[in-house]
Structure 1
Amino acid sequence: MKNSVRIVALQALLMAVVISLAMDSINAALINIRSQCSETISACATCNICGGQVNCYALAPNNGFQVIDVGPTWPGGVIWGYPGGSANPTDGNNAKPQADLVEMTIGADGEDYYEISTVNGYNLPLLIGPTTIAPPGQRQGLECGTAICSISNIDSFCQSPNYLTGPVGYGCYNVDGAGPVATPGTEQFANACPDANQVYTCPTGSNYEVVFCP
């Protein structure tokens, strides 16, 4: 009798593990990082709250891509890029302060949060949006919407007090950063990229794409 009870308990535990693994698999987010740029770029990704390890990938011109599986939770995720194919984490870290960023939190109480941030600056055109939407999500405004920040000529865009940086990011540095009020520096970015610095939400279990030079 005791053996039968043990067997039933083990079966129940095994079933719970299987269900948990299945739910994690269902809710895991896939992010397709893609480049439509005319030259090779490097795309980098890190999770600030998961240890901060930076992984970089060289993306070939005209639809080079890298798919990353960030699992059912990815708190403080960041994706950015820089010109050239070095795909070196040190280069990536040095480029980050010069770049516009995709910032994501996956799996926060059943919701994902994402935005394009120009608080640091801007270097490459960037898009973020869902490719598949988990129920009950729908594309409507900031719910499961697509954000884009695309500036055609960074040289003419980047005016004082902001300034152009050099290698490795080749960006326009936002001197005012995340100031609490509008300033000449932040207004340049706000006018050029009205989708930026707005937080979008979508149900956990959705998948996403990040596109450079969309």
Structure 2
Amino acid sequence: MLKLVKIGLLFFGNSQLLIQGFISSATKTFTIVNKCDETVWPGISSNAGVVPVEPTGFALQKGESKAIHAPPSWGGRLWGRTHCSKDSNGNFTCATGDCGSGKMECAGAGATPPATLAKFTIGRDGMDFFYVSLVGGYNLPMLVSPTGGGSGRNCSSVGCTVDLKVACPSELKVTSSDGEVVACKSSCVAFGRKEDCCRGEYGSRDTCKPSFYSQVFKTACPRASSYTYDNETSTFACAGADYQIIFCPTSTTKYIVSLKACVF
């Protein structure tokens, strides 16, 4: 997208000078779509040192969409929050993906895991790099699709389009107060072990390997990142594209797995 930006220069020495004109700035458009059967509250956080994207949080009813414009060299992450409400003191909280701000806008804060994340690095050497991460767990199906005729290595849709809550092992399940399964933790979030989180002596590609749990995620969602060093099979790249981020792209799809059949 090409956006015209109005600029002005004021006050040189003792004289006031106003110069008005327009410069063009190529921006990226992210169209966020909610195809879920429930309201989703998207959250957005920008990486340190880049111009932040606004707004940083909002509500999308079933069937609604919203376009967000990012600067040409932007990096950050997008996710969906679910089961959100305000308490008697006006504090806004969500059962999954909460960013801890106490408000609908996340204001720079990231998602509390488990949450399905779409991560972007825009405009690096003329390319956009993106992937969908389940490293911190899963709460919603998500698909990232390039739009507008983008091209490049692996310039195609990526994400996790199935309901992993159905297949979530009991020890990873997150339930609401009424017993509904609302999210699925990763093994790192659930257990905090170094071998699951790729920390300490497991902090390299050679020493940190997929776990049983991450392979359950990968089997269900082969085009999403399932653990820290899974980026080689899940990072995609485009040039000249905008992006559509869809929650519940196929809302009726379920993934049912026999855990006994997945013992590696």
TM-score norm. by structure 2 comes to 0.62
Does the 8 Å contact 2:140/2:163 carry over to 1? no
Match of 1:143 in 2: 154
1:185 and 2:213 matched? yes
User: Between the two proteins, what is the percent identity of the paired residues?
Assistant: 29
Query: Comparing 50-59 with 112-121, which one deviates more in the overlay?
Result: 50-59
Q: Distance in 2 between matches of 1:174 and 1:43?
A: 21
Determine the C-alpha separation between the residues in 2 that align with 1:79 and 1:157. Answer: 24
| Structure showing the higher helix proportion among its residues | 1
Deviation at 1:150, TM superposition (A): 2.3
Q: 1:209 to 1:178 in 2, by over 3 A?
A: farther
Deviation at 1:58, TM superposition (A): 0.4
Tell me the SS of whatever aligns to 1:57. Answer: coil
What's the counterpart of residue 196 of structure 1?
224
Structure 1 unmatched runs, 5+: 1-13
Tell me if 1:97 matches 2:113: yes
1:58 partner amino acid: A
Whichever residue aligns with residue 38 of structure 1, its letter is D
Q: 1:193 to 1:104 in 2, by over 3 A?
A: same
**Distance in 2 between residues matched to 1:178 and 1:115, nearest whole Å:** 19
Correspondence for 1:5:
none
Q: Taking structure 1 as the reference length, what is the TM-score of the superposition?
A: 0.75
1:47 aligns with 2:63: no
Q: Specify every segment of 5 or more residues in structure 2 that has no aligned partner in the other structure, as ranges.
A: 1-18, 101-110, 189-195, 199-207, 226-233, 250-264
Aligned CA RMSD, in angstroms, stands at 2.8
Identify the residue that residue 174 of structure 2 maps to in structure 1: 164
Equivalent residue for 1:37?
Answer: 36
Bigger RCO of structures 1 and 2 (CA < 8 A, at least 6 apart):
1
Q: Does 1:70 find its partner at 2:75?
A: no
Give the 3 Å change call, closer, same or farther, for CA 200–69 of structure 1 in structure 2.
same
Count of aligned residue pairs for this structure pair? 184
SS at match of 2:99: helix
